[in-house]
């Protein structure tokens, strides 16, 4: 019967082990959370809060502070003492435990003692309050880590959007210049232009190809910055493995797909155009520039920052914790009492006893601890002033950047951009009709590219100024 039971238990153990192995293989085969290739800012912000390494570390720090608060709220543990003394070695040990010998010089003594420290002066309550303030400070620091990481994510999105818009412009320009090259070849073949113009046209192509390469590289770098902030790599994106960026750089003379560059619509429902040259990019950043004004005044923004900034809130909680720490240091002068009860058996006699212990402040009278707590409180006050000053400074700098970006963006009105485009079109038509030279066409094209590139940069600067203001105030601005 016993042999049969052991076999059954053995079979059950192997079944449990096989089940655990099977579950482990299932978990290993189950893919982890992936980053969608078409990534919007809203989705990226949601993923960042779950995967960003700085935010995750701050969350662990909050958990540690929560545990520290629980430890601070505990009462001192009682101490149990069990003793056995003067046990004669001449007689059997177990016999001496039960029987006594009145004629023996040394009577066996058995002691059972329980000691308990009674804290006075509200020390435990002060420790708990101090730990609670420290917990709230760490929670605010976690929110501050989210604030800074979200700002960096938005900056990376803006950089990727700028690179995408510049790439569309560079591709459209390169496509139009290819038509100019073909027209130049035709004019040379018909004898309207000297043969050297073909070489000049080919040489002029280099700057437009370089603009394509630079814009694509900027997009690749910005998209990897986004992945880094999301705590992910290219392998975590929900697409198959891609070729490297170097393998996809445009070769000189390669025909790119035509793409007309236009000023993007402000309709948020219309998705931005994505270049076909970025097919192998790790991410397809779906974002648009905003041109919304900021309705708040500078004074209102300062007030919002002082009220909402997590680093300022954390500094306030640290100051409150240091104030509780100072009070706790003063309360250390209130003596704790240790009360003990004991039972003793000496020989054949049983006895009970009660003790009370009180510390004597002969060497350490807590003055040094009070001075240390006072210094920490003053340091916390100074750090709070510094945090508030930093918050107002950040708001003022961000507001000045916003005003400058607003003024710059207003310079590029629709009428100004239309005039630049007309100048480029007139130069292209004049060259086609033979009324102007290739140099004049290239100059008009460079002027057009410079104006549109500066306009893209102005929109990116304005977008970053909005992000900077929202980060400085830790509040959305509508």
pLDDT band at 310 (very low <50, low <70, confident <90, very high): very high
pLDDT tens-digit series, residues 62-80: 999 999 999 999 999 999 9
Cα dihedral 455, 456, 458, 461 in deg (nearest 10): 180
Mean pLDDT lowest among 73-82, 120-129, 163-172, 174-183? 174-183
Residue 26 has pLDDT above 70, yes or no: no
Q: Which residues contact 98 (CB under 8 A, 6 or more apart)?
A: none
In angstroms, the Cα distances linking 405 to 11, 222, 314, 450 are 75, 21, 32, 18
What secondary structure letter does DSSP report for 241?
A: -
Judged against a pLDDT cut of 60, whether residue 17 lies above it is answered with no
- How do beta strands 284-286 and 38-40 pair? parallel
Give the pLDDT of residue 35: 87
Longest dimension (CA), the chain: 140
| Rounded Cα–Cα distance for residues 100 and 349 (Å) | 10
The segment with the largest mean pLDDT, out of 8-12, 213-217, 446-450, is 213-217
State how far the alpha carbon of 153 is from the alpha carbons of 45, 112, 233, in Å: 8, 64, 15
**Domain segments of the chain as ranges:** 44-73+122-330+365-473
Q: Model confidence over 451-477: pLDDT tens digits?
A: 888 899 999 999 999 999 999 999 988
Question: For the chain, first and last CA: distance in Å?
Answer: 80
Q: Which two tokens stand for residue 46?
A: 């949601």
If you classify domain 44-73+122-330+365-473 with CATH, what class do you get? mainly alpha
Surface-to-core class of residue 402, CB atoms within 10 Å of its CB (0-12 exposed, 13-18 middle, 19+ buried) = buried
Burial class (CB within 10 angstroms; exposed 0-12, middle 13-18, buried 19+) of 371: exposed
Radius of gyration of the chain (CA): 38
- Reply yes or no on whether the pLDDT at 257 is more than 50: no
Helices 53-72 and 41-51: crossing angle, nearest 10°?
Answer: 40
Reported confidence tier of residue 255, pLDDT bands at 50, 70, 90: very low
pLDDT of residue 389: 96
Q: Which of 437, 7, 406 is nearest to 193 (CA)?
A: 437
Q: Measure the CA–CA gap between 282 and 475, rounded to whole angstroms.
A: 31
pLDDT of 249 reads 38
Q: Are β-strands 337-346 and 109-118 bridged in parallel, bridged antiparallel, or unpaired?
A: antiparallel
Mean pLDDT of the chain: 80
Do residues 119 and 57 lie in contact, with contact meaning Cβ atoms separated by under 8 Å? no
Per residue in 181-238, pLDDT (tens digit) is: 777 777 777 777 777 777 777 777 788 888 888 888 999 999 999 999 998 888 888 8
Which has the closest alpha carbon to 287: 215, 222, 243? 222
DSSP state of 88: -
Tens digits of residue pLDDT in 183-194: 777 777 777 777
Distance CA 161, CA 40 (A): 11
> 342-352: per-residue pLDDT in tens?
998 887 788 99
Percent of the chain with pLDDT over 90: 42
At 8 the pLDDT is 40
258-306 pLDDT, tens digit per residue, is: 233 333 333 444 456 677 778 778 888 888 898 889 999 999 999 999 9
**E runs forming strands in 252-348:** 284-286, 337-346
């Amino acid at each position: 019967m016993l042999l049969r039971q052991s076999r059954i238990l053995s079979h059950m153990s192997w079944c449990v082990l096989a089940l655990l192995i099977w579950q482990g293989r299932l978990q290993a085969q189950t893919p982890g959370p992936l980053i969608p290739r078409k990534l919007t800012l809203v989705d990226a912000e949601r993923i960042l809060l779950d995967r960003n390494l700085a935010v995750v570390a701050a969350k662990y720090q909050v958990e540690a502070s929560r545990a520290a608060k629980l430890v601070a709220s505990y009462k001192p543990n009682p101490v149990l003492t069990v003793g056995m003394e003067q046990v004669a070695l001449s007689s059997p040990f177990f016999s001496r435990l039960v029987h006594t010998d009145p004629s023996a010089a040394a009577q066996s003594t058995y002691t059972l003692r329980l000691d308990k420290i009674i804290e006075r002066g509200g020390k435990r309550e002060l420790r708990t309050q101090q730990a609670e303030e420290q917990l709230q400070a760490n929670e605010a620091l976690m929110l501050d880590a989210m604030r800074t990481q979200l700002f960096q994510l938005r900056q990376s999105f803006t950089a990727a959007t700028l690179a995408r818009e510049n790439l569309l412009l560079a591709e459209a320009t390169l496509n139009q210049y290819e038509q100019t090259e073909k027209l130049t070849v035709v004019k040379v073949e018909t004898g309207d232009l000297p043969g050297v113009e073909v070489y000049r046209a080919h040489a002029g192509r280099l700057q437009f190809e370089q603009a394509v390469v630079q814009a694509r590289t900027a997009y690749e770098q910005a998209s990897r910055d986004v992945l880094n902030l999301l705590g992910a790599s290219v392998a975590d994106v929900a697409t198959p493995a891609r070729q490297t960026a170097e393998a996809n750089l445009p070769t000189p003379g390669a025909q790119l797909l035509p793409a007309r560059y236009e000023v993007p619509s402000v309709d948020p429902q219309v998705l931005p155009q994505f270049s076909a040259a970025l097919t192998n990019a790790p991410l397809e950043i779906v974002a648009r520039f905003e041109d919304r004004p900021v309705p708040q005044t500078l004074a209102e923004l300062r007030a919002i920052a002082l009220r909402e900034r997590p680093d300022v809130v954390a500094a306030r909680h640290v100051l409150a914790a240091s104030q509780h720490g100072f009070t706790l240091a003063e309360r250390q002068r209130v003596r704790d009492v240790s009360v003990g009860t004991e039972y003793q058996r000496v020989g054949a006699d049983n006895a009970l006893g009660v003790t009370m212990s009180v510390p004597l402040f002969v060497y350490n009278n807590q003055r040094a601890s009070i001075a240390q707590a006072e210094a920490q409180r003053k340091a916390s006050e100074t750090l709070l002033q510094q945090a508030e000053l930093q918050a107002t400074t950040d708001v003022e700098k961000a507001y000045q950047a916003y005003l400058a970006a607003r003024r710059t963006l207003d310079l590029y009105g629709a009428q100004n951009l239309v005039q630049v485009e007309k100048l480029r079109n007139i130069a292209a038509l004049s060259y086609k009709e033979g009324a102007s030279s290739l140099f004049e066409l290239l100059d008009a094209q460079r002027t057009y590219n410079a104006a549109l590139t500066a306009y893209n940069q102005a929109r990116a600067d304005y977008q970053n100024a909005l992000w900077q203001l929202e980060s400085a105030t830790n509040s959305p601005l509508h």
